[in-house]
Structure 1
Amino acid sequence: MSRCDECGKQENMPYQCRHCGGTYCAEHRLPENHGCPGLDSWDDPGGVFDSGFDDSVADDSGGGGLSDRLGIDTGPGGPLGYFRGNMTYAFLGLMWVTFFLQLVVRIVAPGLVEPIFVLSPAHPEYVWTWFTSIFAHGGFGHIAINSIVIFFFGRIVEDYVGSRDFAVLFLGSGALAGLGQVGFQIYQYGGIPAPGPGVAGVIGASGAALAIMAVLTVLNPNLTVYLYFLLPVPLWLLTVGYTGYTVYLILSTGIGAGGTAQLAHLLGLGIGLLYGQHVKGRRRVPEQLQFGAGGRGPGGPGGPGGRGPF
């Protein structure tokens, strides 16, 4: 836990000013709220924009994030400015909206469910399913477990890397995990299979959720997660345990063990670990989390995946 340089308040998630290098609480994070000497050289006619962690993330290499190189504009005047600092909640909202749309489509036009929502080895050319499949889920338990992981871990990672790079991480890891699973299925089939009941598709945000958990594991492997507010478990142990269990299932049963896209889970973890190494060292992260509602803080993982194919 860090102390605010301005008021002395203890802060679980401190903000580090990129102008003066000081550590501050949420109330004093803006340069004008802590008398930052960097204001003397401020030359932006638009003034200081309250961007939360996005503007406090420093990159000593001089280059921008991945989203900067892609030209994604989430600035205060950009079309995506509303989502600045809120992508975790935006993605959670899209997941639940998509889930209810699945229910509606299943009733009114059941034949459209797979072409719209499922990434299938029979139709990898359906590019939209690379992303719609991330937000679609196989059942209430499936989406609930993924939502818990993304809700509690997503905000920390988003605050650390910024909303734009978090969005790229979420969509990129989700799509690559699903495509990896489908690609290996095509390899096993010896080519693109014909659509049929024996051809399993991929849906769910588990790849993205596990990537987020893996990023946080790299940033703070000893982060204590209080499962059910009682059992203190270091995050690295949860991640290693889940990874080992997934590898065991793949080796013993196959990449679709238990009706779950196990290879996609493993790929999500791998992407998160690599990205975590890439961004490690930018700033501090919390030391403790609690799993569940209420209490003194946010919770930890219940294990992405759950019921459903992904």
Structure 2
Amino acid sequence: MGTGVDEIAGEQRRLINVAYRLLGSATEAEDAVQDAYARWYALPRSRREQILSPGAWLTTVTSRICLDLLGSARARRERYVGAWLPEPLPDRTEWGRAGAAARPGATGSAGPADPADQIVLDESVTMAFLVVMETMTPAERVAFVLHDVFRYPFAEVADVLGRTPAACKQLAASARRRVGTARTPLPATGRADVVRHVKEAWRAKDVAALVGLLDPASVLTADGGGAPGTALRPIEGGARIAHYMVAIADRAPGLELLERSVNGLPGLVARSAGAVVSVTSFDVTDVTDVTDVTDVIDARVTRIWAVRNPQKLRPWAS
């Protein structure tokens, strides 16, 4: 059975979407997909012609490569300085403005497509969702992403994991329970209002306003990859977080805060001297049952994820 180059190349977008959700890194996702393609073209032509579904073959190989990478992730995390967070993604309009110039060898529309521009932004790539998936075992994550997100039957998931379909069904159910513990997020419109208030209070260095916007039990996690001034451990409590945010603003005169879509949801991008220095995501929860909320649109920030590692900010370069 013949397989055209266009048919094989057309699988790349879907494969990168699968790999990013498995790995939480657009760069690693691209590497995994390139490795899968290299293995495809390393097959003898006669063997390739025997494969009835090249797309299914590439998905299986890509997923197995990601599974191996997830298996070694614990050792890599142990060597990582501070907390590790998934790589934040801009939306397409942001990438169109910044990403092409940031990618080595890219020359406008003629340059190679960056993986960040090929990832579909939906609930399964929000920072909150990806952080929850970090708590799964590698096998749980593969079973959940392939079956629950991409709707692959358990028979195909079993081929990837080398387990029975029944075992894969149990893995996906276990992963689903982890996801189910997350609180239902606020709709995007209300979330954008809260993020805007946070930006204004942060820019004004208004500790009281920030405390009013933050849940008393909120947690801030920063990923600096060793960058100076980045908190190495999560900061807990609205008051402590508010003072930390103001301290950051004090240390960076002229810090510019921009409202941007981060992994498909409203977030903030901080720029200093024209360069992006951090990308921040927020988990915002409805608190209409709380009586002491004044004009905070009946919602508060419960989690903040701030990525400062320059290696993870390349798609955001301006």
Instruction: Give the TM-score category using the shorter length.
Output: under 0.3
Q: TM-score, normalised by structure 1?
A: 0.25
Q: Which structure has the highest strand share of the two?
A: 2
